Amino acid sequence: MMILRRRAFTLIELLVVIAVIAILMAVLLPSLNRAREMGKRVACMNNLKSLVLVWQMYADDKDGKVPSGHTSGKTCWVDHTNLEYYLNAEDQELAIERGALFPYCGKNIDVYRCPTGKRGEMRTYSMPDSFAYTNTGVAEFAGANASMLVRKVSDLKRPAERMVFLDEGFCTPTTWSIFYNQERWWDPVPVRHGAGTTLSFGDGHSEYWKWRDERTINFGVKANALENPDEASYWREIQLANEDIEKIVKAVWGKVGY
């Protein structure tokens, strides 16, 4: 009677197989991570596009008047009046629900948050100072004139170039701030989806901007490492001849004042 013997893997063969699998994983994982991040970036851009379309719907109902970009008051896009800002999910959610835009977005709270948002961040998007017409002091401190604040859609002369929302990540208490008359950062630089951030514009489209100056990225990374990234707004870091600053100042204020 013939006895059949099954040949088993030797230890060396098993180790070779494990090594091959490890090499393949090392090669494929970065590509998978990039693909996953790309998907989140696309979802974020869709959220921002939805928000700016909702913003346009609000303006259509209000004879062209847009909601304030400030975050305290009934005419503001979100209303944090008497609420906590930081890592308090319930208050963040309530601020969104009390905001002027919430009824226009199908009461969908997810549209206010990027998929890469951290736990406790119910809102990762912000509006810039140029829309804070209910808090003119912010614009004046930034070196801009109150007449530059956007109150109506018609105030945006080149809407395709004017930012309405950006993915800030850990949101500062009020609008996202950038100086108009100085080459320096004010609020922390959003370093999102790689080395940049996503934005939406007055004409309804959204974009991804990759930062080009290493100083921009370094400032954003240092700020994000803080327990409360808003503390970096006090640094007001000067960065002369930074093309990222010039580009975003134009997107916020329509022109540079330095």
State the pTM of this model. Answer: 0.85
- Per-residue pLDDT for 75 more than 90? yes
- Per-residue pLDDT for 5 more than 70? no
pLDDT at 107: 85
Residue of 55, 71, 40, 37 whose CA lies nearest to 165 = 55
pLDDT at 11: 72
Alpha helices (H) along 75-212: 89-98, 136-141
- Per-residue pLDDT for 131 more than 80? yes
- Per-residue pLDDT for 162 more than 60? yes
- Per-residue pLDDT for 81 more than 60? yes
pLDDT at 4: 53
Contact 129, 177 (CB under 8 A): yes
Give the confidence band of 194 by pLDDT, cuts at 50, 70, 90. confident
Contact 108, 150 (CB under 8 A): no
- Model pLDDT for residues 102-119, shown as the tens digit of each residue: 999 988 999 999 999 888
Q: In Å, how far from its chain's centre is CA 200?
A: 10
Q: In which order are the strands placed within the sheet that holds 163-167?
A: 125-126, 163-167, 196-201, 206-210
Q: Is 252 exposed, middle or buried (0-12, 13-18, 19+ CB in 10 A)?
A: buried
The arithmetic mean of pLDDT across residues 27-40, rounded, is 67
pLDDT at 35: 63
Mean pLDDT score across all residues of the chain: 90
Query: Can you count the helices (H) and strands (E) in the chain?
Result: 5, 4
Can you tell me the distance from the alpha carbon of 187 to that of 185, in angstroms, rounded to the nearest whole number?
6
pLDDT at 173: 80
pLDDT at 8: 63
The arithmetic mean of pLDDT across residues 119-147, rounded, is 93
Least confident span in 4-8, 96-100, 106-110, 163-167: 4-8
Q: In Å, how far from its chain's centre is CA 135?
A: 21
> What b-and-e string marks burial along 181-193, b requiring 16 or more CB atoms within 10 Å of the CB?
ebebbbbbbbbbb
Give the confidence band of 182 by pLDDT, cuts at 50, 70, 90. very high
CA distances from 14 to 6, 7, 8, 10, 180 (A): 16, 13, 10, 6, 64
Residue of 105, 100, 56 whose CA lies nearest to 78 = 100
The arithmetic mean of pLDDT across residues 171-194, rounded, is 92
The tokens describing 205, both together, are 């489209």
- Per-residue pLDDT for 153 more than 70? yes
Contact 70, 78 (CB under 8 A): no
Give the confidence band of 34 by pLDDT, cuts at 50, 70, 90. low
Can you tell me the distance from the alpha carbon of 9 to that of 213, in angstroms, rounded to the nearest whole number?
54
Can you tell me the distance from the alpha carbon of 135 to that of 70, in angstroms, rounded to the nearest whole number?
7
